[in-house]
A and B are shown apart, each in its own frame.
Chain A
């Protein structure tokens, strides 16, 4: 009975994972489909992977997506980490006020955030690359804070004071003592921000103006006319790269640990 319960649990888990990944599998299949139609299988081809980088529109949209993704995440991480350290030191009232107002872009409807920023930006300047970047930084900062602040609160701040006591300047104490402690949270906040930026459609759609596209808005525009098969190839590529990076990041430490353990065991056995 225990075994069947276990089987049921694993089955459910597999079902959810399948639900999350079936659409991706569809796109991967389409990326190898030698037919411009989405519903007809025209045989296997690598054509779309070859033509992908010859299409200057696609390359430009990819560039925009990547530079905005990483750029906005980087800016958001710098501002967010400083903010988290600052917020951590605040008294209760300014603490909850700052967090409350600061979380608006994360909790508010994307469509409202997008429209509000669009109205605001278009007062001063033409919409374009910069307005998208600023908008992405805006909704990314809360994710960084969300990731970093709990780590800071868990941390014993007396280590900072100890560092100061031992003669470290406040900057040194921050970079040498606090930063190493919260670094994993900073990285995951950065990663989350890149993900949110790359995944965003709505805010970009409203703040982009004419003549510039990220992958999302480009594909949205193509929806009615028919999506270029290169897009399937591109998203398959992006997915594969991210998957490999994640697997490496996640399994490398464990593999190394196992290697070290084995080495130790061998040494023990030898002695």
Chain B
């Protein structure tokens, strides 16, 4: 993948939104949900003798989009699972919105590497998996947000890989989460589908306004989407840098090319 394919998608998106800025954008602002701060303090994690995370301290501001990059085995998936409450820390503390994470939270959603759809439930029932009052209407709205309103009645087995991951995204959006944690959700997709998913993710993020943490091994993906990049190496933060280039300028920015070089040197 190169810059051209990553940003061709974004350019299209900009054109779409530029045209109807005044009303559409204001509606988005009105619908924007809440977001939470995520705070990690001296977080340690070991599996047996193996120390996966060594005293990690990071504060993520509400609404921030942080990309975490690193080689496989650097502890980035473990980190995400700990924020989600699926695993407990061996030392240190994680808090979301000021409250320590002890178990799973309803306002934090996790997007897995695989779509993990229930094959025996139709798309709409998968999206509305948490049920609750009025789930069908909310699930339909979320499906529409990811552009799959017409596939509500299909079995997951007939969808393509990208469509399945979009359904998984809709499932995460249904409850209007305050934080969305993503564990390489686009890793298994082909380059074109991945570009589409990037556009979609940026769009729903602007609409929903959640705090986002994206785990990826693709540095360009990280630089194309996030506000801040975190490089993890041997269980420690090797680099923590803001990405100050506006999304609209990223495909041409020399500053970003420079940043990419720095990140690649650290990974």
Please determine whether chains A and B interact with each other in the same assembly: no
Q: Using CB atoms and an 8 Å cutoff, list the residues of chain A in contact with chain B.
A: none
